[in-house]
Amino acid sequence: MARATILDWTEASVQLKFDAHRDVKYQVYRDSGRHFLEVRNVADEPIHTLELPDGMKLDPSSYQVLLRYVLLDLVAA
């Protein structure tokens, strides 16, 4: 199965802790039957790609929530 875009690149300003935020863009795509959330900074440099669990595959609001938690986790690391 070829790669297919589910949600094209979307820009977001993600609120982190203590009035901090991070401007990013993200897309959701399917590749070989699996779904992925790819996050990049505004300079188009990769930040993280995450395979999505089954329950989050079709709900666009879930992508925004997951995006925040991915970024919080990366900042804490």
Question: Using one digit for the tens of pLDDT, what is the confidence trace for 34-54?
Answer: 889 899 988 999 988 989 877
Beta bridge partners, 48, equal 39
Mean pLDDT of all residues in 59-68: 74
The stretches of the chain forming alpha helices (DSSP H) are 60-76
Report which DSSP code applies to 52: P
- SS3 label, residue 33: coil
Domain region containing 68: 4-76
What does the buried/exposed string (b/e) look like for 20-54 if buried means 16 or more CB atoms within 10 Å of the residue's CB? eebebbbbbbbeeeebebebbeeeeeebeebebee
If you average pLDDT over every residue of the chain, what do you get?
A: 81
Confidence class for position 76, pLDDT limits 50, 70, 90: low
State the pLDDT at residue 52.
Answer: 85
Predicted TM-score (pTM) of the model is: 0.77
Domain count, the chain: 1
